[in-house]
Amino acid sequence: MKYAAMGARYLMGIIFVVFGLNGFIGFIELPPFEGPAGDFMSAMFGSGYLYVVKALEVIGGVLLLVGKKVPLALTLLTPVIVNILLFHIFLDMKGLPIAVVLVVLDAILLYEHRETLGKVIAAD
């Protein structure tokens, strides 16, 4: 399981750093969203909210790649992953496979760091 967690950490880190930076720099051309998905993304961009999400993606991705503060990275990225999954379930089914891959990678890492995350939850 340790090797699966390491692979999941690196893969998830690369995904979030690349797509997080793409939100600022725009080096990957993404197809435009249409209908309700397009309206949602327009609101996210127009309000500036998406820039906060992209910053969290980059920070979380870098923490995963460096291997330091992985529980903090998971705390930052898990809500983002849930929103990505829900977006693709309800608004744009085309991206659902990558969302499911992110959920699986996140689950592997959450399982690997369950003791540390459990201590944080129990400290409340």
Residue 123 has pLDDT above 70, yes or no: no
Residue 121 has pLDDT above 80, yes or no: no
| pLDDT score of 35 | 94
CB-based contacts of 80: which residues, under 8 Å, 6+ apart? 16, 53, 56, 57, 60
| pLDDT score of 51 | 96
Per-residue pLDDT tens digits for 85-111: 999 999 999 999 999 999 999 999 999
* Nearest Cα residue to 19 out of 34, 33, 29, 9: 29
Per-residue pLDDT tens digits for 12-61: 999 999 999 999 999 999 888 999 999 999 999 999 999 999 999 999 99
Domain-by-domain residue ranges, the chain? 2-122
Q: How much is the pTM?
A: 0.91
Residue 62 has pLDDT above 80, yes or no: yes
Pick the more confident residue, 2 or 111.
111
| pLDDT score of 2 | 86
Pick the more confident residue, 84 or 121.
84
